[in-house]
Amino acid sequence: MSKPAPLRGRGTASNPHNRFAPHRLQVEDDGWYQEVPLTQGTEVRRETARTIITRNSSPDLPFDRSINPYRGCEHGCIYCYARPSHAYWDMSPGLDFETRLIAKTNAAAVLEQQLSKPGYRCAPINLGSNTDPYQPIEREQKLTRRLLEVLLNYRHPVTIVTKGALILRDLDLLAELAQQRLVAVMISLTTLDDELKRILEPRAAAPKARLGAIRVMREAGIPVGVLCSPMIPMINDSELERLLSEASEAGALSAAYMMLRLPLEVAPLFEEWLQTHYPQRANHVLSLIRQSRGGELYDSRFGARMRGEGVFADLLAQRFAKAIKRLGLDRREGYDLDCSAFCPPGGQMSLL
């Protein structure tokens, strides 16, 4: 079988078996021509969640709790480290991840229940740790907006990571949260090349739209930083300084970056993407990744998985450090969120 042709507006046309599937099918070409659709629609399933706050103890993350109102992500980023999570729902980390989505429709109500429990201790909650809270289906579902309304009502701090310009729809809530030191936003910016964005992150906002979102939020007094992630050797790493410069000009206060991560089923999907779009440099890209991952395509160790090791990773780290110092993106102002104001509606605030 030849590899499936890329679908318009999708990161991959492949739908490999998830690692938990009890049965596997092998497709064979019988010589009969069949027309393959050029597009693939999005299916949204409803889920009634029992809990909504996920805890973690990772030393690599600056938060210990997060909320993901959606499973799967319509942005279709081929490199997304969250793709393997779709296997837990008996779906493929490939095309299924970006076309068969699950919406936790009662997310706001469950969050309110969890925040109201007597033993709850306040600490910033992150939105967007696994899948983007402002992916296209949020326009109709409005789950992220409802979550923000609950968090504002409880005066609970929140951090947001997104590459969706749809975040500007909630400018009213974000501005009010910012006035009370309850929100900080990171805009993910991977490339300034529209053509690369189209094949790398097909349904994410355009680079100019993300820079515009930074500018508008800063004008509204919302602390915003830029996340240059992932940095992919020989694909977008040459853009690092320009990405940081453009974000700084737009008003970003801080910056962070991460090296490409290829856990589990993501690695073969990314290799296929390379062979489709960059066949002449694919081997070089993979070689540099292995040099940064101890000879493998992925290293899951804490302390190494986000940055990588070796000559290329060290050079990237040096370039980043020099650029953020020169641009003043090494500040932390606006990111000291207030946990002391947390109070369930109708509850009595602390006198101390």
C-alpha angle with apex 146: 145 to 151, nearest 5 degrees? Answer: 95
Q: Quote the pTM value.
A: 0.91
Q: Please, what's the largest Cα pairwise distance for the chain?
A: 77
Is the pLDDT at 231 greater than 60, yes or no? yes
Is the pLDDT at 155 greater than 70, yes or no? yes
* % the chain with pLDDT above 90: 84
Q: How far is CA 315 from CA 287, 305, 309, in A?
A: 16, 16, 10
Under 8 Å CB-to-CB from 256, ≥6 apart: which residues? 186, 225, 226, 227, 228, 229
- pLDDT confidence tier of residue 36, bands split at 50, 70 and 90: very low
DSSP string, 270-326: HHHHHHHH-TTTHHHHHHHHHHHTTTSS----TTTTTT--SHHHHHHHHHHHHHHHH
- All structural domains of the chain, each given as residue ranges with its CATH number in brackets, are 54-67+111-327 (3.80.30.30)
Q: What is the mean pLDDT of residues 150-156?
A: 98
Is the pLDDT at 264 greater than 60, yes or no? yes
- pLDDT confidence tier of residue 332, bands split at 50, 70 and 90: confident
Residue 352: its pLDDT value, please?
47
Is the pLDDT at 34 greater than 50, yes or no? no
Strand partners, 67: 127
Residue 1: its pLDDT value, please?
44
